[in-house]
Amino acid sequence: MSVTPAQLFQEHVQTWAELWKSGVEIEGEEEIEKTAMAGLYWLLQHYRADTYWSSSPGGIATNSYNGHVFWDTELWMFPPLLLWHPGIAKAALQYRLNTVPGARARAKLGNDPWRSGERALQGYSTNGVRFSWESAITGNEQTPPGFDTGAAEIHNTGDVAFEADQYYKLTRDLDFLNSGGYKDLIEGTGQFWSEYVRWEGAAARVLNVVPPDEEAGYQDDSIFTNAIAEENMRLAVYYMDLHDRRGKFRLDPAPDSATFREKFERTIAGLQKTYPTLYDKNRDAHYEYAG
């Protein structure tokens, strides 16, 4: 079917008019309102409700990171989309659900192909779901070999679980929740964390990771990473209970014969043991990482 330029332009105008039925109005603050709407306009250029895809930090405005998807979507770009355009947000989340097989493969790979420097941990192959630091169509790791972020900036796995939780908590979309993908994502990411930690007595430590401040390089017990890992496993337990109450499934035993729930709850308690060492009582603040 041929489409004339005039028809294409009219479709473009109508589509944007529909999108702008949701937006921001700030009475008495015209400049702030314009700024907020400009940000929303920028976001809406990069997403479609009928396309299961997410956006790179630079969107379609640049070739930033070769168009690869990062945690920027989950923590910074997804929330406003969810508030004003939940259908578009759903498509962005569906992208992550579609890449769970790639994330399972990523967990098996561990850190070796991307490690650099003395502190980069070798091994760390796990079960579960570990989302790639740089992700594209398949979800396979796109970070070039040798970059520390690909080996050790692992907090984005918890960020994706946080995104999935935000969607359900705001929309209560039970059909989407029960489609099967949520169980794989939430439970699988929780399993990843429960196997990735290293135990020192009763403490579950997350060693040699790159925190959100990438300039810090490899550090132990990044407070953000440990906290998002704890929250991820709390969400896993929450959704297990939610599904169980609806009679949708029961969990299979983990390989070590403990249930996933027991592993998650034990690891949550272990992570909490690391927080006092990261807390400065005099400043009433947490350090970004140990050391």
- Band of the pLDDT at 145, cuts 50, 70, 90? confident
Q: Which of 214, 215, 230, 288 is catalytic?
A: 214
Annotated active-site residue 214? The verdict is: yes
pLDDT (0 to 100) of residue 90: 95
Proportion of the chain above pLDDT 90, given as a percent: 56
Please give the angle made by the CA atoms of 248, 237 and 135, to the nearest 5 degrees. 90
DSSP 3-19: --HHHHHHHHHHHHHHH
Token pair in block for residue 271? 């992570």
| 247 has pLDDT over 60 | no
pTM of the predicted protein model? 0.89
User: Poorest-confidence range of 51-60, 98-107, 264-273?
Assistant: 51-60
Q: Which residue has the tokens 């490899």?
A: 218
The b-or-e profile of 253-264 (16+ CB within 10 A means b, else e) is ebeeeeebbebb
Alpha-carbon gap, residue 60 to 40, rounded angstroms: 14
Domains of the chain: 1-44 (no CATH), 48-286 (1.50.10.10)
User: Poorest-confidence range of 1-10, 83-92, 102-111, 171-180?
Assistant: 171-180
pLDDT digits (tens, 9 = 90+) for 41-91: 989 988 889 988 888 777 776 777 778 898 989 999 999 999 999 999 999
pLDDT digits (tens, 9 = 90+) for 186-231: 989 999 999 999 999 999 999 989 999 999 988 999 999 999 999 9
Proportion of the chain above pLDDT 70, given as a percent: 89
Residue 56 CA, chain-centre distance (Å), reads 13
| 253 has pLDDT over 50 | no
